[in-house]
Structure 1
Amino acid sequence: MFRERIMLSTPNAAKSGIQYFMDGFSLIRRPGLRRFVVVPLLVNLLLFSGALVLAVNYLSELMHWVDKSVPSWLDWISFVLWPLVILALLVVFSFVFSSIMNWIAAPFNGLLAEKVEQLLTGKPLNTGGAMDAIKDLPRVFGREWQKLKYYLPRALLVLILFFIPLVGQTLFPIIWFLFSAWMMAVQYCDYPFDNHKVPFNDMKFALKQTKGSSMSFGVAATLFSMIPIVNFIVMPVAICGATAMWVDKYREVYRNARVAPE
């Protein structure tokens, strides 16, 4: 069975996903990797700053319009709407920003995963030069589109759960957190898999066979992404940690066995 092959062929199979994520903090400081971390980090900061300014301006204009539109005896409604609008804006802002950032940073993230694997194994991936990387961009963005198609319908189903009276409001935070953790694992573990041209369904199959490591990795990434300022470096940290997990748990398996899709 594929599960047995993974457990028998990897010396660090018992290492948790949380440990791999934490390894990412030390890996991003390695001299050979710093420049591959700085570029997507700067792009992240610039995009976030611009998006935040737009969001604040939009929110101010929206609330000004609400204040002018409602009659004086409904002035109190602003106090009710503010928290709801801010919450809705944060959710939309978080989704849109993270989605755009993942698309823009995808080529950089794949390159970072490649360099981390080369550092850990001492062997180059032979992915070609700059021109080959440019030619490969359609496939890279196509992979991001696969992840988005996988994410959207499942996120919608979880959001619908929120509107179920009593049960929905109780279960939604737990299910949403677990779903977010799984998507974090899918998002970041996919880069080293994709560098080896492993199909998306095969990648998901592999993560499900080591679900404990995958979920604990995703939980760590989700929790750290909630910490202000620290969340700016979660992406490179997670990619480094996910690549280390690929090297230990999956790399040799893909040399010796073909993973069947779901």
Structure 2
Amino acid sequence: MRSLRDFAAGVGFFLQGLGWVARNGRWWLFGLIPALIAFAVYVVALVLLGTNASDLAEFLTPFADSWSWRGTFRTLIGVALVLGGLALAVLTFTALTLAIGEPFYEKLSAAVDVLPDVEEQPWWRTVPRSIRDSLVTLGWVLVFTVPLFFLGFVPVIGQTVVPVIGAAVSGFFLTVELTMLALERRGRSRRERFALLRANKGLALGFGVVVFLLFLVPFVAVLAMPAAVAGAALLVRDRLA
């Protein structure tokens, strides 16, 4: 019962973040800049992947040259590559956007989560740390999502259980990424941040899953990014500080 309440509270913090940027339109526009840049990068990458998927599938499956059904098999491989690229884009969109826009989102997060006597660090010091932490988080994401990707081809389970687990895993790590700014401002190390969110799984999942589902819709991910950063700052301030 408590987990369900925490899950609902997590969703509520995203809605609070949405309300905050709606009331502060200048910050919402400010936060759109890095999200638009990251979105453009992913659009180009996914278009290139889609247009070259069949050639890539043929390159990856030379063993199928003699098969009578190689065309169907390589089509399935091409579709899997595109779907895998789309899933990876969703999972890494936040990390790339935060890396590109760290100075932007640090200011947005600080505007939401005002802390007295906290000295703002220069961007040239925070950006490398942010990239390093995001790469570590991405490594953990891949540990979970690569097996789930292949399990997705298992009949029934792949279409029911796997998507739910995938959304939960992706949602948790999105919360890890989005709360990084506010928790770093409080001097929390990467290990401490993980431990804190693991101890509040329901809250982390509620917030992250709703963000993940929104990020599945291409341009909505851009529009929702400032709200996600604001909501994460509110979540840390009110529940994790």
**What band does the TM-score fall into relative to the shorter chain?**
0.7 to 0.9
Return 210-219 or 82-91, whichever deviates more.
82-91
TM-score (norm 1): 0.71
8 Å CA contact 1:180, 1:222 repeated in 2: yes
Q: CA deviation at 1:217?
A: 0.8
Within 2, Cα distance between the matches of 1:169 and 1:20? 29
Within 1, Cα distance between the matches of 2:46 and 2:150? 27
Aligned AA (2:13): Y
Task: Map Cα deviations across residues 56-108 of structure 1 (whole Å, 9 max, x no partner).
Answer: 32136558999xx979x95x764564355223322124315753762353252
Q: CA deviation at 1:113?
A: 4.3
After superposition, the Cα gap between the structure-2 partners of 1:43 and 1:165, relative to the gap in structure 1 and judged at 3 Å, is: closer
Structure-1 residue corresponding to 2:78: 85
Structure-1 residue corresponding to 2:140: 150
8 Å CA contact 1:117, 1:244 repeated in 2: no
The number of residue pairs the alignment matches comes to 232
Q: CA deviation at 1:111?
A: 4.0
Structure 1 position 172 matched with structure 2 position 165: no
Structural RMSD (CA):
3.6
After superposition, the Cα gap between the structure-2 partners of 1:150 and 1:62, relative to the gap in structure 1 and judged at 3 Å, is: closer
Q: Runs ≥4 in structure 1, deviation > 6 angstroms?
A: 63-66, 163-166
Within 2, Cα distance between the matches of 1:201 and 1:45? 29
Percent identity over the alignment is 19
Question: Which 5+ residue runs of structure 2 have no aligned equivalent?
Answer: 1-5
Please give the secondary structure, in 2, of the residue aligned with 1:229.
helix
Structure-1 residue corresponding to 2:187: 197
Q: CA deviation at 1:39?
A: 1.5
Please give the secondary structure, in 1, of the residue aligned with 2:120.
coil
Question: Which 5+ residue runs of structure 1 have no aligned equivalent?
Answer: 1-12, 252-262
Q: CA deviation at 1:220?
A: 0.8
Return 107-116 or 201-210, whichever deviates more.
107-116
8 Å CA contact 2:108, 2:229 repeated in 1: no
Q: CA deviation at 1:135?
A: 2.9
TM-score (norm 2): 0.76
Within 1, Cα distance between the matches of 2:234 and 2:129? 23
1:26 pairs with one of 1, 19, 23: 19
Structure-2 residue corresponding to 1:37: 31
Aligned AA (1:218): G
Q: CA deviation at 1:120?
A: 4.5
1:52 pairs with one of 46, 55, 61: 46
8 Å CA contact 1:117, 1:247 repeated in 2: no
1:187 pairs with one of 144, 160, 177: 177
Q: How does 1:6-17 map to 2 (within 5 A)?
A: 16-17=9-10
Instruction: State the structure with more CA Rg.
Output: 1
After superposition, the Cα gap between the structure-2 partners of 1:77 and 1:232, relative to the gap in structure 1 and judged at 3 Å, is: farther
Within 1, Cα distance between the matches of 2:205 and 2:58? 43
Return 192-201 or 95-104, whichever deviates more.
95-104
8 Å CA contact 1:185, 1:217 repeated in 2: yes
Q: How does 1:1-262 map to 2 (within 5 A)?
A: 16-29=9-22, 30-59=24-53, 61=55, 78=71, 81-95=74-88, 98-99=91-92, 102-103=95-96, 105-106=98-99, 108-109=101-102, 111-121=104-114, 123=116, 125-128=118-121, 132-159=122-149, 161-162=151-152, 171-251=161-241
Q: CA deviation at 1:114?
A: 4.1
